[in-house]
């Protein structure tokens, strides 16, 4: 089958991978270069973790996602996952943590509570409030996102898959199904996937009330030298207190990539095509959060702040819609990268008619 895919982020690329390895003919159309540095998928690393609060369906999917990444590594001949574990921090009765641990128990995923002595000894760069606690979960890591996207594009090119860079789609013709490019050309196929990330509603305005672009800031930092070793191949950090709306995270300095700090609070604003220069107050807000989690946080040097866009749904579940014969998918809300290879496989099955749409939609929304 010839399948037209709009958007070459992780969703478009991995769906093309799954289609091509099954003998189909994907055609990728991307408004910028492939990979596009403006895509949500473009960053040095992205977290993969099984802790998912009450969203047990997504926790279970993460285990399938690990297996799907292994299939991708085998094809790429490179393993772009650094297993780091995750340090979960927060009040002992934090509901998200209680639910996450219950989910890990059901899935048989090991974790260990750390007392304050153990925390200080193993993770000297972490310093949390006296009434917060810590757990270490071994099954977590950092996916080297930009290397994954670049290698996927290379794998597709090597198999002569049609990748069209700088080919913005300006109109969906979902009943054919086909799309119109900015230069007027029509590109048609047997199936059509819109995987356009934060730009989706430009082509499907009817989704504007359900899919909201959200400008987010991350900050790459250099820790004080005394903590170098702790950050190098250290764990992901997730520090959460839902009573106060606090959610700080950090990715370690792995594979030559600097440590990265961020938060999971949606701004629900901004235009992905506007100036992306991070504002001092955006950077300042992340550094202020870090002071609740990191020892000597004021001594961290900012190397590079970055602006990136989430595409957020109200309940943070991934969205799939049919528009005529086209399928629109947004697997984001700030947590979609970890499922990349797996989502590609499921989306390919849907597009070639081997999976019912409702079953796919339920699965994508974390419903199993
Ligand atoms: C700051 C930040 C931190 C995150 N952290 C994590 C994390 O730790 N773990 C995790 O699992 N997930 C994380 N995510 C979420 C994850 O990155 C996204 O879920 C995922 O990358 C979405 O991929 P996508 O392919 O759907 O969209 P995108 O990567 O945005 O790809 C969409 C592509 O479509 C192209 N396009 C758009 N419109 C058109 C058009 N009209 N014509 C042609 N091409 C078009 C765009 O140029 C783009 O390349 C994070 C996201 C952000 C922003």
Average pLDDT of the segment spanning 163-182: 97
CA of 124 to the centre of ligand 1 (A): 34
Whether 202 has a pLDDT exceeding 80, the answer reads: yes
Q: What is the rounded distance in angstroms from the CA atom of residue 132 to the CA atom of residue 143?
A: 28
Across all residues in the chain, what is the average pLDDT? Answer: 97
CA of 292 to the centre of ligand 1 (A): 29
Average pLDDT of the segment spanning 287-296: 97
Whether 368 has a pLDDT exceeding 80, the answer reads: no
User: 346 CB less than 6 Å from ligand 1?
Assistant: no
Q: What is the rounded distance in angstroms from the CA atom of residue 201 to the CA atom of residue 273?
A: 13
Whether 264 has a pLDDT exceeding 90, the answer reads: no
Say what percent of the chain tops pLDDT 90: 97
The domain total for the chain is 1
Residue 329 has a pLDDT of 98
Average pLDDT of the segment spanning 83-98: 98
Show the domain range for 254: 2-364
CA of 51 to the centre of ligand 1 (A): 21
Q: What is the rounded distance in angstroms from the CA atom of residue 88 to the CA atom of residue 61?
A: 20
CA of 31 to the centre of ligand 1 (A): 13
User: 65 CB less than 6 Å from ligand 1?
Assistant: no
Whether 177 has a pLDDT exceeding 80, the answer reads: yes
Classified as helix, coil or strand, 199 is: helix
Residue 56 has a pLDDT of 97
Question: Residue 217's beta-bridge partner residues?
Answer: 307
**What digits encode the pLDDT tens for the residues 312-356?**
999 999 999 999 999 999 999 999 999 999 999 999 999 999 999
Pick the atom of ligand 1 nearest to 39's CA.
30
Residue 261 has a pLDDT of 98
Q: What is the pTM of this model?
A: 0.97
* Distances from the Cα of 55 to the Cα of 18, 66, 73, 152, angstroms: 26, 17, 27, 29
Average pLDDT of the segment spanning 228-257: 96
Residue 233: pLDDT band by 50, 70, 90 thresholds? Answer: confident
Lowest mean pLDDT among 58-62, 230-234, 362-366: 230-234
User: 204 CB less than 6 Å from ligand 1?
Assistant: no
Residue 345 has a pLDDT of 98
Pairing between β-strand 191-194 and β-strand 25-29 as defined by DSSP bridges? unpaired
Please list the alpha-helical segments (H only) found in the chain: 10-21, 56-76, 95-107, 116-122, 145-158, 200-203, 228-231, 280-290, 340-351, 357-364
- Here the CATH number for the domain that contains residue 249 is 3.30.9.10
**What digits encode the pLDDT tens for the residues 220-231?**
999 999 999 999
Say what percent of the chain tops pLDDT 70: 100
Whether 93 has a pLDDT exceeding 90, the answer reads: yes
Residue 265: pLDDT band by 50, 70, 90 thresholds? Answer: confident
Residue 68 has a pLDDT of 98
Whether 23 has a pLDDT exceeding 90, the answer reads: yes
* Distances from the Cα of 181 to the Cα of 6, 167, 168, 322, angstroms: 10, 6, 6, 21
DSSP string, 158-198: HTT-EEESS--EEEEETTTTEEEETTS-EEE-SEEEE--GG
CA of 284 to the centre of ligand 1 (A): 24
């Amino acid at each position: 089958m010839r399948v037209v895919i709009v958007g070459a982020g992780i969703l478009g690329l991995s769906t093309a991978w799954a289609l091509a390895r099954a003998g189909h003919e994907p055609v990728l159309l991307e408004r910028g270069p492939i990979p596009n540095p403006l895509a949500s998928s473009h960053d040095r690393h992205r977290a993969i973790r099984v802790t998912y609060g009450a969203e047990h369906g997504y926790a279970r999917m993460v285990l399938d996602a690990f297996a799907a990444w292994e299939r991708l590594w085998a094809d790429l001949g490179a393993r772009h996952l650094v297993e780091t574990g995750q340090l979960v921090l927060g009040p002992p009765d934090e509901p998200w943590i209680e639910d996450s641990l219950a989910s890990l128990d059901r899935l048989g995923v090991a974790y260990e509570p750390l007392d304050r002595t153990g925390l200080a000894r193993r993770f000297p760069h972490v310093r949390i409030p006296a009434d917060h606690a810590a757990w270490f979960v071994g099954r977590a890591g950092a996916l080297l996102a930009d290397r994954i996207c670049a290698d996927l594009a290379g794998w597709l090119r090597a198999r002569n898959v049609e990748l069209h860079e700088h080919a913005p789609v300006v109109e969906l013709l979902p009943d054919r199904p086909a799309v119109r490019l900015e230069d007027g050309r029509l590109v048609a196929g047997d199936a059509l996937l819109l995987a356009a990330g934060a730009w989706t509603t430009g082509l499907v305005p009817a989704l504007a009330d359900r899919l909201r672009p959200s400008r987010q800031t991350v900050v790459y930092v250099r820790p004080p030298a005394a903590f170098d070793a702790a950050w190098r191949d250290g764990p992901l950090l997730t520090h959460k207190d839902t009573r106060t709306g606090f959610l700080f995270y950090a990715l370690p300095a792995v594979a030559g990539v600097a440590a990265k700090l961020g938060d999971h609070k949606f701004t629900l604003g901004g235009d992905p095509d506007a100036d992306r220069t991070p504002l001092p107050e955006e950077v300042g807000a992340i550094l202020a959060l870090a002071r609740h989690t990191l020892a000597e946080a004021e001594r961290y040097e900012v190397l590079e702040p970055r602006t990136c866009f989430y595409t957020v749904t109200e309940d943070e579940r991934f969205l799939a819609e049919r528009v005529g014969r086209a399928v629109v998918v947004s697997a984001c809300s700030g947590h979609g990268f970890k499922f990349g290879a797996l989502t590609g496989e499921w989306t390919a099955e849907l597009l070639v008619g081997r999976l019912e749409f409702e079953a796919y939609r339920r699965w994508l929304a974390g419903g199993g």
